[in-house]
Amino acid sequence: MTENKRQTGQYAAINGLNLYYETLGEKQEGEPPLAVLPGAYMTIEAMGELVPQLAESRQVIAVELQGHGHTADIERPIRYETLADDIAALLSHLGIERTDLFGYSLGGGVALQTAIRHPDRVRKAVLVSASCKHDGLYPDVIAAMNAVSVETFAGTPIHDAYLKTSPRPEAWPTVVAKVKGLVTADYDWSEQVAALTTPILIVVGDGDSVRLTHVVEFFGLLGGGKADGDLSGLPASQLAILPATTHVGWAPPFHGITTRTHLLTPMITEFLDAPMPGDS
């Protein structure tokens, strides 16, 4: 990461957790910070150059969720709702009234639940490779998530990063089981999404784990895709589908969505910098 934009990681004692976060970039006058939430089993570092690039134009608070990276697991299930409450508690701990959110994959679900459960704390949200209901994922993706085990990660960078960063590396099997339970559980947040007034940018790859038909449905719940924008105006929320882009990008020539920084960073920055609906 860009060292001149990165501060030392810190811990916040909230909700029974020692929640690890890093602050990057400079606070901008009149702009809220951007909280960044990585995906399942990921550290902040695993997000690559996207985080420091976003910090070039705003203050970023990057978080490692329960059982991820430097944040040790606790005797509590890992659920989208409780992780969202952790983010709201972190904002209170830091004295931040309102923030923008960026969430990737599992982090996207947490960002969405934060907007649902704590709408007064979220100004805008960017959801990357995330769905608003479980069957928004392709069936083969759901099958693969159901087949995950500790052995799946043996010798992988994901497991190596956990052993390197976790205060409780022996808890790895428990974390795998908890995260598997989270990502394989059924959910449907369509009703809550339809009630949101928070502007949301949905981003997926055209070869992502999220079904493109679901993405269109998701966007429709937010007021999109219902009329000619030239005639009726644009909705507060936006949709972007990145070409030749997969969810992770396991091997060349595949491009994982978080590595597409030349596409992601400008569109995220433009979305966040645009005036809120109703502002002059």
Q: What is the pLDDT of residues 112-166, one digit of tens each?
A: 999 999 999 999 999 999 999 999 999 999 999 999 999 999 999 999 999 999 9
Average pLDDT score over the chain: 93
Query: Average of pLDDT values for 2-18?
Result: 77
Q: At residue 270, what are phi and psi to the nearest 5 degrees?
A: -65, -40
Query: 3-273, which class in CATH?
Result: alpha beta
What is the torsional sign of CA 271, 272, 278, 280? Answer: negative
Burial zone of 174 (CB within 10 Å; 0-12 exposed, 13-18 middle, 19+ buried): middle
Distance CA 109, CA 203 (A): 13
Longest CA pairwise span in the chain (Å)? 59
Distance CA 99, CA 120 (A): 9
Burial zone of 151 (CB within 10 Å; 0-12 exposed, 13-18 middle, 19+ buried): exposed
3-state secondary structure the chain: CCHHHECCCEEEEECCEEEEEEEECCCCCCCCCEEEECCCCCCCHHHCCHHHHHCCCCCEEEEECCCCCCCCCCCCCCCHHHHHHHHHHHHHHHCCCCEEEEEECHHHHHHHHHHHHCHHHEEEEEEECCCCEHHHECHHHHHHHHCCCHHHHCCCHHHHHHHHHCCCHHHHHHHHHHHHHHHHCCCECHHHHHCCCCCEEEEEEEECCECHHHHHHHHHHCCCCCCCHHHHCCCCCEEEEEEEEECCCCCCCCCEHHHCHHHHHHHHHHHHHCCCCCCC
| pLDDT tens per residue across span 212-270 | 999 999 999 999 988 887 878 889 999 999 999 999 976 667 789 999 999 999 999 99
Query: Average of pLDDT values for 37-49?
Result: 95
- C-beta separation of 90 from 63 below 8 A: yes
- C-beta separation of 194 from 97 below 8 A: no
Distance CA 54, CA 59 (A): 8
Q: At what angle do helices 172-184 and 139-146 cross, to 10 degrees?
A: 150
pTM, full prediction: 0.94
| pLDDT tens per residue across span 57-95 | 999 999 999 999 999 999 999 999 999 999 999 999 999
Query: Average of pLDDT values for 185-208?
Result: 97
What is the torsional sign of CA 74, 79, 85, 87? Answer: positive
Query: Average of pLDDT values for 155-181?
Result: 95
Joined tokens for residue 250: 């396991």
